[in-house]
Amino acid sequence: MRFIVLLSFLLIAAFSVSAQNRTELVCGDIVESNFTDSDQTLFFTIDMRPGEVLEISASRFGDYLLFRDQCSSSGDGYSNYIYAPSGDVVAGVPEFDNSICGETIENIRMRTGLLGEQGRYTVTVHNETATGAFNLSVGCVDSSGNRIEPGETIVPTPVVPNPQPGGLVPQVTFGYPGVAAIDFSGTSRTEIIPQLFGVPITSSIPVNGSGISGFSLEAAEGDILEIDARRSQGNLGIGFVVFAEPNIPVFIAGPVVASTFSTQIELPQDGSYVIGLFRMGDVPANAQATAFQITVNLNP
């Protein structure tokens, strides 16, 4: 019993020390790393969401580097695992199969099932005696079943808005990534306090000028933001964005030309959020200012 308690403290201490030397990963990464000592653990972290799948593979350079088998009890206690934010092991090599105890592993591959926790996952990779370099590849499957292969770069498709009067396009200093030259930094915003949840708020987008309308609210991680908009007049295409301040993208839709629009969004963090509406797409020849009512609800 004392040994188990002591081992737990050692593992916690190792995680705390290693936090300063962790490599951040994103889906699609292929990163080169290097063991500089025998019996060494390297730590990597990646942010994942519920319903997603994480795949990690490591391929050595040369003929000498070997990864530690999962049954080894030497060193700091780590082998090749993926840990959930809670500390639970969600994947290992090879799928917790103890039949390879004592065997060497030239390359490793770990794949989780559908993840149930949101947050930062930790990947540990451990070598045997030989040192050397290896490639770590990161593949993911999102909650909709879309696969991101290692080496695949996800680039948002830019949407170019109409030029401003005089042909000038404002310099973006604060806005929504992927929407070129849409700057929300100087936009006046209607603060949506709890007393205004469920109450229709009237706003409009002009044909000329900035063509931007903004709303702000405070929310917590996991809250469900409901947005319902109803067009009362006009024919402009409208873009909807939601971002967490200072500038973290959460949602984008448009151009919306329908008479009504609604969506539900699970918010990723505590803090201030901005709902932005802006003129988007081609301006019709008979363009008219567009007025609408927007109703916002927040469900913890």
Read off the pLDDT of each residue in 244-272 and give the average, rounded to a whole number: 82
One DSSP character per residue, the chain reads -HHHHHHHHHHHHHHHHHGGGPEEE-TT-EEEEEE-SSS-EEEEEEEE-TT-EEEEEEEESSS---BPPTT---TTS--SEEE-TTS-EEEETTTT-GGGTT--BSEEEEE--S----EEEEEEEEB-S--EEEEEEEEEE-TTS-EE-TT----PPPB--PPPGGG--PPPSSB-TTBTT-B-TT--EEE--GGGTT--EEEEE-SSS--EEEEEEEE-TT-EEEEEEEEEE----EEEEEEETTTEEEEEEEEE-SSEEEEEEE--SSEEEEEEEEE-SPPPTT---EEEEEEEEEE-
Higher per-residue pLDDT: 115 or 97:
115
Model confidence at 292: pLDDT above 70: yes
pLDDT at 284: 78
Higher per-residue pLDDT: 259 or 11:
259
Model confidence at 297: pLDDT above 90: yes
pLDDT at 106: 83
**Same fold flag, 16-148 and 173-299:** yes
- CATH code linked to domain 16-148: 2.60.120.380
pLDDT at 164: 40
Residue 217: pLDDT band with limits 50, 70, 90: very high
Model confidence at 76: pLDDT above 90: no
- CATH code linked to domain 173-299: 2.60.120.380
pLDDT at 183: 66
pLDDT at 166: 39
Read off the pLDDT of each residue in 62-67 and give the average, rounded to a whole number: 88
Model confidence at 149: pLDDT above 80: yes
Q: State the pTM of this model.
A: 0.47
Model confidence at 139: pLDDT above 90: yes
pLDDT at 296: 93
Higher per-residue pLDDT: 166 or 51:
51
pLDDT digits (tens, 9 = 90+) for 10-59: 343 344 434 446 788 988 888 999 999 988 889 999 999 888 999 999 99
Read off the pLDDT of each residue in 181-195 and give the average, rounded to a whole number: 74
Residue 123: pLDDT band with limits 50, 70, 90: very high
Model confidence at 211: pLDDT above 90: no
How far is Cα 125 from Cα 65, in angstroms, rounded to an integer?
A: 12
Model confidence at 161: pLDDT above 50: no
pLDDT at 156: 41
Read off the pLDDT of each residue in 99-125 and give the average, rounded to a whole number: 81
What whole-number percentage of the chain has pLDDT above 90?
A: 18
Give residue limits of the domains in the chain: 16-148, 173-299
Model confidence at 169: pLDDT above 50: no
